[in-house]
């Protein structure tokens, strides 16, 4: 056999591997599909494993007057967990107790006041004893007004940050020794606007802060057996997003805007923006279980997720959008926005 023939046969397999035919390409995609399918099958199996002795575990939830917190408290109570529900008002606490079993207990909590947080922490400590606190759910939050950033005064910025971010931090740090003792869970309610911000600047800022705080805390506490999860809801219809109240706050905010700022934006822009916000609020999902089921999973699964995106809009629009180039995401998000009166 000639050297040339030998070289020719040795070269052929390399040529076939470098330039696969149609059959090779199909095989490659089948292998890839099988690997992806195997990954999701294994994740599904892991996430179905449930923590034992749930009926002996205490969960403290803030913001239980209405919305996600109220729904979660009732949901966990039905499952048999020992729920400690924190409400801002006595009326909210009474209504929650009327709709739940005798196991559920309530406490009044204002997350913007250090003395209220300290009192609630002591109240929880007396109930959980040496077992510690299995779950802490930081759910309390406010929106104020879905207005342009320049329309809001600093008092609004401070108040929103005190509830949505500083309140989360202070409640967490106060309760952390109890959670660490139980090697438990912390569930922080963020927002899809904590992943991609495009309106409501102060609200988005507070939720970005929650994301950052949660990421850092997760890494710091990993060796203590404490697991941190974030729930990032899309747009849902709750007391916080009540259509009438939100629109009234938006009108009030616009009325209080200084004249020179009003002239820059113009009444025409406000009217168009008002209608956009109204349509968005009317289209919000009413199925709160899409969110509270994620919270429950984070508290009860042996292997909770780090992040839960709740709602079809979050999963199939905003999350994919957040991975696009910034310029493209900006165009998609703002292409229908009205132009200011003094636009250049």
b/e map of 46-55 (b: 16 or more CB within 10 Å)?
A: eeeeebeebe
- The distance in angstroms from the start CA to the end CA of the chain is 79
Q: Is 203 a catalytic residue?
A: yes
List phi, psi (to 5°) of 267: -65, -35
d(CA 265, CA 180): 50
Close Cβ partners of 46 (under 8 Å, ≥ 6 residues apart) = 302, 303
d(CA 155, CA 99): 36
d(CA 236, CA 176): 29
d(CA 70, CA 78): 13
d(CA 264, CA 250): 17
Burial class (CB in 10 A: 0-12, 13-18, 19+), 218: middle
Smallest Cα–Cα separation from 112: which of 165, 52, 163? Answer: 163
Q: Which two tokens stand for residue 10?
A: 């040795």
Question: Active-site residue among 31, 58, 157, 203?
Answer: 203
- Residue 2: count of CB within 10 angstroms of its CB: 7
CB 65 within 8 A of CB 87: yes
- Residues forming the active site: 203
């Amino acid at each position: 056999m000639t050297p040339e023939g030998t070289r020719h046969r040795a070269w052929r397999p390399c040529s076939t591997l470098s330039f696969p035919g149609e059959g090779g390409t199909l095989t490659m995609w089948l292998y890839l599909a099988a690997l992806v399918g195997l990954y999701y099958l294994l994740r599904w199996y892991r996430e179905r494993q449930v923590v034992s002795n749930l009926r002996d575990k205490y969960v403290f939830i803030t913001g239980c007057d209405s919305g996600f917190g109220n729904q979660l408290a009732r949901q966990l109570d039905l499952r048999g967990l020992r729920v400690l529900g924190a409400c801002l008002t006595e009326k909210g606490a009474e209504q929650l107790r009327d709709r739940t079993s005798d196991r559920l207990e309530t406490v009044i909590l204002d997350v913007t006041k250090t003395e209220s947080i300290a009192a609630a922490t002591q109240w929880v400590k007396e109930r959980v004893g040496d077992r510690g606190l299995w779950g802490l759910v930081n759910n309390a939050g406010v929106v104020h007004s879905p207005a342009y950033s320049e329309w809001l005064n600093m008092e609004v910025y401070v108040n929103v940050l005190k509830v949505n971010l500083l309140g989360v931090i202070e409640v967490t740090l106060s309760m952390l020794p109890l959670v660490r003792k139980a090697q438990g869970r912390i569930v922080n309610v963020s927002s899809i606007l904590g992943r991609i911000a495009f309106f409501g600047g102060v609200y988005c800022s507070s939720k970005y802060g929650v994301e950052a705080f949660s990421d850092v805390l997760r890494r710091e506490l990993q060796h203590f057996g404490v697991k941190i999860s974030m729930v990032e809801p899309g747009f849902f219809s709750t007391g916080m997003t009540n259509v009438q109240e939100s629109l009234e706050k938006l009108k009030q905010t616009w009325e209080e805007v200084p004249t020179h700022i009003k002239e820059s934006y113009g009444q025409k822009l406000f009217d168009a923006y008002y209608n956009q916000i109204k349509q968005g609020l009317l289209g919000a999902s009413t199925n709160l279980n899409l969110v509270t089921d994620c919270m429950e999973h984070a508290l009860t699964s042996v292997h909770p997720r780090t992040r839960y995106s709740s709602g079809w809009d979050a999963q199939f629009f905003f999350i994919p959008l957040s991975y696009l180039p910034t310029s493209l995401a900006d165009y998609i998000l703002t292409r229908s926005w009205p132009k200011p009166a003094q636009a250049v």
